[in-house]
Amino acid sequence: MASNKKYWKSEAELNPNDSIVEALKQNEFVEQIPVDDFLGDKQNLSSTSTNRRDFLKYVGFSTAAASLAACEGPVIKSIPYVVQPENIVPGVANYYATTIANGFDFASVLIKTREGRPIKVENNTMAKVGGGANARVQASVLSLYDSTRLQGPMANGEPVEWDALNAAVKAKMGSLNVSSKKAVLLTQTYASPSTDRLISEFKAANENIEHVTYDAISEDAALTAYENSYGERALADYDFEKAELIVSLGADFLADWQGGGYSSGYAKGRIPKNGKMSRHVQLEANMSLTGANADKRFPLTPSAQKVVLAKLYGKLNGTSVGGNTSEYDAIVEQLTGEIKKAGAGAVVVTGLDDVNAQTVALAINKMLGSRAFDADSPRYVRQGNIKMLETLISDMKAGRIGALIMDGVNPMYSLPNSIDFKEGLEKTDLSVLFTANWNETAEVVQYTAASNHYLESWGDLEMKKGHYSLMQPTIKELFDTRQFQSALLNWMGSESSYYEYIKETWDQGILNGASWNQALQDGVFASETMAVAVDEGAVVDAIEGVEVETPNVRIASAVRSLANATSNGMELTLYSKVGMGDGQQASNPWLQEFPDPITRVSWDNYVTISKSDAEALGVENENVANGGMDGSYVNLTVNGVTVENVPVVVQPGQAKGSVGLSFGYGKSVGMKEEMRTGVNAFRLYEGFNANQNVSIEKAGGNHEFACVQLHKTLMGRGDIIKETSLEVFNTKDHAEWNHVPQVSLNHQEVPATSVDLWESFDRSIGHHFNLSIDLNACTGCGACVIACHAENNVPVVGKKEVRVSRDMHWLRIDRYYSSEDSFEADNTKKDEFDGLSGDNGSLGGFGELENPAENPQVAFQPVMCQHCNHAPCETVCPVAATSHGRQGQNQMAYNRCVGTRYCANNCPYKVRRFNWFLYNNNEEFDFHMNNDLGKMVLNPDVNVRSRGVIEKCSMCIQKTQKTILDAKREGRLVADGEFQTACSAACENGAMVFGDINDDSSKVSELKESNRMYHLLEHVGTKPNVFYHVKVRNTNEA
Amino acid sequence: MKKVLYRNQFSKVFVFSLVVTLLFSVSLVAQDTVTESGDAVATEDAGASDGDAAAGKALFNQNCAACHALNRKMTGPALANVESRLAEEEGLDREWLYSWIKNSPGMIRSGDAYANKIYNEFNQAAMTAFPTLSNADIDNILAYTAAPPPAPAAPAAGEAATVASGAASGGISNEVILGALALVFALLVVMLFLVNNTLRRIAEANGISVEKERAEKRLPIWKAFAQNQFLVLVTVIFLLLGSAYFAYGWMMQIGVDQGYAPIQPIHYSHKIHAGDNKIECKYCHSSARVSKHSGIPAMNVCMNCHKSIYEYKGNPEGPSQEDLANGYTNEFYTKEIKKLYKAVGWDEENQKYTGETQPIEWVRIHNLPDFAYFNHSQHVSVAGVECQTCHGPVQEMEVMYQYSPLTMGWCINCHRETNVKVEGNEYYEKIHAELSKKYGVENLTAAQMGGLECGKCHY
């Protein structure tokens, strides 16, 4: 009987012709076991001299040797200085003020050095302009120790001496007099008085020299608009602190718009003071960081933004503006009303790459007399000139260029028409590229001059008129590199160093008798003599090549052309990510692993698309079983140029009919395999315009993303991010908008804060540290994430690991979308659930709440270890590896941890991170901790964790301990503001404030008393030492 | 017994003779010194009539010795017979020397030819002016320089040899005593054996064989033991416990390097520096005051002194016998100083740095694991703990070794027992007042201040 039974293993067996069934009949596994891989071919095996006995001998010997070696401690050598530098004490950090100016990021910073090694970037609080280091600047110290850096000059791919390179250039310069060819310096924006002077002297010393400035991501439209109106090629400055109403049309001013650096002013105006805060309206296509912070956001395609801008100008000016659509009239009407009400308190900015749009925006601000608008002392951080660049390329192709010397640019990567450039380069007699890394352009030039990192260089800057800063080396050149300016001096036959040259420039024109040493120590210098504003009408006529027209006529024509803007098909908006910028630091593992604040995707760029467009195209995102997110691929075509296989992220808030794609990715030359991520968006940067018409088609396959946050909404849990409107905040009691959760005690509702499972320790003596996070001031920029990375030796784990949620960031910034139009509506919806099913049933209702709205409200929330006074993690640790300190820190003894991960399971905030692998000295994780150079960035005061232990935010105990020790040694009390964590020090917005709440005069104790204060998950009763401030949105619509 | 007495007598005689020899040799030394100084006085008289060489020596050591030696170029030129040398070679008289010594920078400025020559020859390091020295003082110094410096006397070496042999004979005497004792024991054993034999013979003569009877009656003890299960069990348990105890003890010392005294590339004697010369620890380990590292001094710190201390002259009493036994002779130490010169690139001939340096690779002795944070300045500057508390009697260590176990238990113990030094430190004022009230104690220990929290050392 039994033998007659047939057991079917699968449905497939029903099909007698199934190949898999056949294969399985013969073999246990469908695929061959890869025996060959480890046994190799016969020949190989027989030729080896190691037989089985030898193998056993080796095993025996190595085991014995290993165990013997383990018995004896290693001999450790200590090598002191031969001559100890006067200002270096081993173990004590030195700080130097310097400035980053890499053509994209400009900021005054402090560099922390230990034993002569720069290890951390801090904000220079003395700087009035550009004193905030963003995520990229914070990470720039790691790029200094990039193991893929060029170690010396090269000629046609072969190492060469500097003398040979210099001789070649000098010879060429000499011969330019004979041939009628030009020599061109193609450089990044320097904004440097000394470099400007140097280049003009170089021009004077040699004949036929031309200087072309090129920004990879161009602000040419804004520069031209300002030049047309004010006669100088610069950018108007804005102080958003002074603005009552900010209207932004596609300007991502909290990120990199016109050079960035606006967020601290913006954040100051966003904290409600005396019942007032600024109002921010954003009209944009992509969901940008700025849009996410707006009080009111309109998703509009770039062409629609143009129309709105034109009509807005018309309304404000009282003239009627034509145009074909009226669907935006309501928006225009509302904006006009608000702007008129705010008057000089309003400011209008635009990020549209269109001279007309920029001109109109300038005109509106001037018309309003906006207080936040400063055209008198403009900013110089972008100077690229497209016209000159295009002339250069055509000259190159025509063979009119004798020598091309490039610094700080990578045109073969960042030019949309890099093929033309390459063709031109072939006809150029001499080409030299100054670059720190081997890159796409280095492959095609004759000479690659290895240049310095900014931390190895001298330099100076004028970021804003009258605001100067100095760049000084914080370490000697690691390799045989030179900075461009030194080379120029050499070619000019000058004996002096660039340092002397800068000093001369400053002594002559800038310092006006002030102390050079003081300026160098401060890193910044503000000149007292401010230039007088230039009369605008007069200069316009003077500009060459511009049709002479009165300003009014020019604006009128600009408005006309804007109003007629139309689009056909999808519109693409190219943008730069907070974490990657223009891609200069693409081989920086911290930045690659940094999750984008909006999409929370790391290690990639992607097309952002609205949900309805995605459905129409048939593309989607999908969360798969291993916890990762997948996305479909599309092909993007702009003007016949196609970028293939771009993964898609469905982005709530993306304007319908628009898509977004970020610059900075898709680099492949001179980079480690892991770093070659994403696609190169510069291919689509036709005419240096970030707004393009694009056609999209779905491509096959799925992309595996490394996304650190798969849940998108708050599900109506208003107690996680408490939010209220300015009106409610001003008029109602805080119990209403900052409700303390109630729990039942003895069948009575009592505030959760009054119930305790544990007896409280007395923390009133000594320090008690608290961290305050103001959700109003936090823009989600992520500088703190990188600062934490750098300070605490947090490992980089790579794309694969991040994909399976094994990222190690101690500090994450959660981003939440609302499911309804606002978070408040979410809360109401959840409260109104009635029963399980039905229209108001919670079953279907929660399902709906999982999906973000088309144009959702967005909120950011930095979450790190909350250092609970009643910590759930501490009670479950079987080995007491995590315990509580009197000063409030939840401490973690790594050497005691055995890796049970009970604590991580029991943590309600999910902030504990487990070292699944050894992330240092491990070939599998070939990032900075796997090479000697990259390890130089490690903070010697913080342990590098090993495999199998839990780690988490320590509230920078090494920093608080150091502050306390300094005070003890000097026999004084600790002043307020001395206590800092890496994140609070990095936050230029002032959103994070750290300090001692037992010190009544401290800022943090004042913040703790604020009625906006709340704790995360207060009802759990963990009593955290980190607290948040209720987010207030200015929804007052005039 | 007689023999033993004889041995004692022998050693007594030996010790006596040794003492006599030593006494004799000391008197020899005394004679030598007398003759030497006599010679010195004699030459002095011949050289310069107007100066007291003895007073001059004191003045020289006080004012000049930092930069000048008698017959050796240092920061400044060698000064032996400087007056006659100047008179012969340059035609300069004592008046020139007076003004040079009192105001050398002035003379350089005034353009004096030889002054400028010597200034340039010695790296333009101007000599300190000594306006306080009177002409008489200078006369005395010149008198001292004119006296030929005592040559390193050959008899001294011979005498050292005698002392060495004396020490050696002292060593032998110890061995002799030990040998004698061993012989006594051997004799005792032989005697016992003989007595035993005699007794056995007597027993045999009496016709008794006791041993055999016993053997028949009783089981061998080990068999009895093996048959008693209780005893076996207890023994096994004890053995297991014992081995566990020792295994635990052995394992607990893994990684504890107490007593670790590696051979260093330069034989640096803390005994000579911190002990004999009483140099303050933090003079060289200066970063201990402000940093977490005590720091191995950079070699430029060594050169602060060793620019002028180019040879080791030993203690005033001469090297101890123990030192000599270990080979720590003056020449040995001088050789170590030369190693320093080589490492730091110091050209002794020209008194110049060559720029060719070879950093010294010291072997690290105190080595905390990476996961333990220790800060020297906290303990040294704030708590005022003596270096010796943890590092032991460094001033007596010829070879540096790890004195303390440096285990966590050792740290914690000290934190439990040591009071926080709060006097005169404003930082502690409030917290100490409040905490001591809370704990009801007069003085707070480091532990009560929070010094036992994990996070204070592990992060």
Residues of B in contact with A885 (CB under 8 A): 450, 453-456
Three-class secondary structure of residue A348 per DSSP: strand
pLDDT of residue A212: 94
Rounded to a whole number of angstroms, the distance between the first and last alpha carbons of chain B is 72
**Distance between CA A448 and CA A159 in Å, rounded?**
9
Contact A234, A467 (CB under 8 A): no
Question: pLDDT, tens digit, for every residue of A701-721?
Answer: 999 999 999 889 988 888 899
CB–CB of A79 and B438 under 8 A?
A: no
Structure tokens, B39: 């010679």
Question: Structurally, what CATH architecture does the domain formed by A723-1033 represent?
Answer: 2-Layer Sandwich (3.30)
| Domain A220-375 class in CATH | alpha beta
Average pLDDT over residues B316-325: 73
Q: Does B380 touch chain A (CB under 8 A)?
A: no
Per-residue pLDDT at B38: 41
The single residue listed with the structure tokens 């140099």 is B279
Percentage of chain A exceeding pLDDT 90: 68
Number of separate helices (H) and strands (E) present in chain A: 35, 42
Contacts of A84 in chain B (CB under 8 A): 298, 300-301
| Residue boundaries of the structural domains of chain B | 48-146, 219-254, 270-447
Structure tokens of A194?
A: 């000394």
Q: How many residues appear in chain B? A: 459
pLDDT > 70? residue B149: no
Q: Does A766 touch chain B (CB under 8 A)?
A: yes
Look at residue B215 in the predicted model and tell me its pLDDT: 54
CA of A960: how far to CAs of A888, A974, B111, in Å?
A: 12, 10, 60
Nearest residue of A to residue B300, measured between CA atoms: A83
Taking the C-alpha atoms of residue A339 and residue A272, their distance in angstroms, rounded to an integer, is: 20
As a whole number, mean pLDDT of residues A639-644 equals 91
For residue A330, count CB atoms less than 10 angstroms from its CB and return exposed for 0-12, middle for 13-18, buried for 19 or more. Answer: exposed
Q: If you average pLDDT over residues A220-234, what whole number do you get?
A: 92
A93/A88 Cα distance (integer angstroms): 8
pLDDT, one tens digit per residue, over A38-59 is 555 666 666 666 677 777 888 8
Nearest CB among B291, B343, B382 relative to A91 is that of B291
B385 to chain A, any CB pair closer than 8 A? The answer is no
Q: Compare CB distances from A973 to B254, B426, B435 and report the shortest one's residue.
A: B426
> What confidence category does residue B316 fall into, taking pLDDT thresholds of 50, 70 and 90?
low
Contact status, residue A407 vs residue A192, Cβ threshold 8 Å: no
The whole-angstrom separation of Cα A681 and Cα A696 is: 14
Any A CB within 8 A of B255 CB: yes
Contacts of A1004 (CB under 8 A, 6+ apart): A770, A771, A772, A993, A994, A995, A996, A997
| CA distances from residue A558 to A360, A561, A564 in whole angstroms, order as listed | 7, 5, 10
Place of tokens 């995605």: A614
Q: Which of A148, A96, A104, A98 lies closest to A454, judged by CA?
A: A98
* Amino acid in the structure at residue A79: I
Give the span between the Cα atoms of A492 and A199, in whole angstroms: 10
What would the mean pLDDT of B246-250 be, rounded to a whole number? 92
Q: Check pLDDT > 80 for residue A611.
A: yes
B150 has pLDDT over 70: no
Q: Are A642 and A741 in contact (CB under 8 A)?
A: no
**Do B296 and A961 lie within an 8 Å CB cutoff?**
no
Continuous segment of H or E residues that includes residue A731: helix A726-731
Output the pLDDT for position B151: 47
Using the structure block, give the residue that is written with the tokens 């409107």: A725
Which one is the CATH code of A154-218+384-526: 3.40.50.740, 3.40.50.2300, 3.30.70.980, 3.40.50.12780?
Answer: 3.40.50.740
Name the nearest CA neighbour of A987 among A55, A320, A93, A135: A135
Asked whether the beta carbons of residue B292 and residue A80 sit closer than 8 angstroms, the reply is: no
Residue B335, class by beta-carbon neighbours within 10 Å (0-12 exposed, 13-18 middle, 19+ buried)?
middle
Give yes or no for A318 touching B (CB within 8 A). no
User: Is the pLDDT at B46 greater than 70, yes or no?
Assistant: no
One-letter amino acid at A856 equals P
Residue B295 and residue A90: Cβ atoms within 8 Å?
A: yes
A68 and B CB contact within 8 Å: no
User: How far is A590 from A787, CA to CA, in rounded Å?
Assistant: 10
For the ranges A626-635, A665-674, A749-758, A936-945, the lowest mean pLDDT is seen at: A749-758
- B363 vs A78: CB contact, 8 Å cut-off? yes
Q: Does B88 touch chain A (CB under 8 A)?
A: no
Say whether B458 and A943 touch across the interface (CB within 8 A): yes
Looking at residue A471, its pLDDT comes to 95
Give residue-wise pLDDT tens across range A902-951.
999 999 999 999 999 999 999 999 999 999 999 999 999 999 999 999 99
Q: How far is A497 from chain B (nearest CA, A)?
A: 24
Query: CB–CB of A971 and B424 under 8 A?
Result: yes
Region A854-880 average pLDDT: 94
Q: What is the distance between the alpha carbons of residues A381 and A219, in angstroms, rounded to a whole number?
A: 10
3-state helix, strand, coil in chain B (%, to 5): 65, 0, 35
Residues on chain B touching A762 (C-beta within 8 angstroms): 438
A561 CB within 8 Å of a chain B CB: no
Helical spans, DSSP H, in A754-841: 783-791, 799-803, 823-831
Q: Say whether A82 and B300 touch across the interface (CB within 8 A).
A: yes
- Residue identified by tokens 């200002």 is A87
pLDDT > 50? residue B4: no
Percent of chain B with pLDDT over 90: 34
- DSSP letter at A235 equals E
Task: Round the CA-based radius of gyration of chain A to a whole number and report it.
Answer: 31
Reference A754, options A762, A744, A763, A766; nearest CA is: A744
Q: Examine the pLDDT at A540 and tell me if it is beyond 50.
A: no
CA A747 – CA B392 distance, rounded (Å): 65
B454 to A896: CB separation less than 8 angstroms, yes or no: yes
Average pLDDT score, chain A: 89
Chain A touched by B301 (CB under 8 Å): yes
User: What confidence score (pLDDT) does residue B35 get?
Assistant: 42
Looking at the DSSP bridge assignments, the partners of residue A769 are A996
> For residue A42, with 0-12 CB atoms within 10 Å meaning exposed, 13-18 middle and 19 or more buried, which class applies?
exposed
Task: Please state which CATH class domain B48-146 belongs to.
Answer: mainly alpha
Q: Which residues of A touch B362 (CB under 8 A)?
A: 77-80
Which residues of A are less than 8 Å from B344 in CB distance? 82
Per-residue pLDDT, A708: 93
The rounded distance, in Å, linking the Cα atoms of A436 and A147 is 11
Q: Give the integer Cα–Cα distance in Å for A196 and A912.
A: 50
Which is it for strands A117-123 and A154-155: parallel, antiparallel or unpaired? Answer: unpaired
Contact A244, A342 (CB under 8 A): yes
Nearest-CA distance B351 → chain A (Å): 17
> Which of helix, strand or coil describes residue B188?
helix
What pLDDT band is residue A440 in, cutting at 50, 70 and 90? very high
- Across the interface, do A89 and B373 touch by the CB < 8 Å criterion? no
A28: which 2 tokens? 């246990």
The pLDDT value recorded for residue A696 is 93
Average of per-residue pLDDT values in chain B: 80
User: Which residue of B lies nearest to A884 if distances are taken between CA atoms?
Assistant: B453
- Residue B384 in contact with partner chain A when CB distance is under 8 A: no
Q: Residue B338: CB partners within 8 Å, gap ≥ 6?
A: none
CA distances from A999 to A319, A977, B337, B431 (A): 59, 11, 55, 12
HSE, CB side, 13 Å, CA atoms: give it for residue A678: 28
Q: Do B379 and B366 meet the contact criterion of CB atoms below 8 Å apart?
A: no
- Under 8 Å CB pairs connecting chains A and B tally to 148
Separation between Cα atoms, residue B70 and residue B77, nearest integer Å: 9
Of A73, A83, A941, the CB nearest to B300: A83
- Confidence (pLDDT) at A776: 93
Regarding beta strands A245-249 and A346-350, do their DSSP bridges make them parallel or antiparallel, or are they unpaired? parallel
How close, in Å, is residue A594 to chain B by CA atoms?
A: 24
Identify which of A195, A835, A89, A258 has the alpha carbon closest to the alpha carbon of residue B291. A89
> Which tokens in the block code for residue B83?
């007056």
* Topology (CATH) of A570-707: Barwin-like endoglucanases (2.40.40)
Cβ neighbours of residue A655 closer than 8 Å, sequence gap 6 or more: A284, A285, A286, A299, A300, A301, A304, A610
Nearest CA in chain B to A889: B455
Q: Which member of A90, A889, A895 has the closest CB to residue B293?
A: A90
Would the pLDDT of A534 be above 60? no
A78 contacts in B (CB within 8 Å)? Answer: 296, 361-364
Nearest one of A955, A997, A954, A1007 to A976, comparing CA atoms: A997
Do B377 and A944 count as a contact with CB atoms less than 8 A apart? no
CB contact under 8 Å between B454 and A891, yes or no, is yes
Residue A282 phi, psi dihedral angles, 5° rounding: -120, 130
Choosing among B286, B432, B453, which should be mutated to test the A contact, i.e. which has the most A CBs within 10 A?
B453
Let me know: does A372 contact A364? Beta carbons within 8 Å: no
Residue A249: closest CA among A203, A296, A305, A178: A305
CB within 8 Å: B428 and A974: no
Does B293 lie at the interface with A, CB-CB under 8 angstroms? yes
% of residues, chain A, pLDDT over 70: 92
pLDDT exceeds cutoff 50 at B31:
no
Say if A965 is an interface residue toward chain B (CB within 8 Å).
yes
Domain ranges of chain A: 1-54, 154-218+384-526, 220-375, 570-707, 723-1033
Q: Which amino acid is at A423?
A: E
Is A973 an interface residue toward B (CB < 8 Å)?
Answer: yes
> Is the confidence at residue B1, as pLDDT, over 60?
no
- Exposure string for A5-31, b = 16+ CB within 10 A, e = fewer: eeeeeeeeeeeeeeeeeeebeeeeeee
Segment (H or E) for A872: helix A872-876
Q: Give the pairing type, strands A182-187 and A209-213.
A: parallel
Looking at the predicted structure, is the pLDDT value of residue A544 above 60?
A: no
CA atoms of A700 and A645, how far apart (whole Å): 8
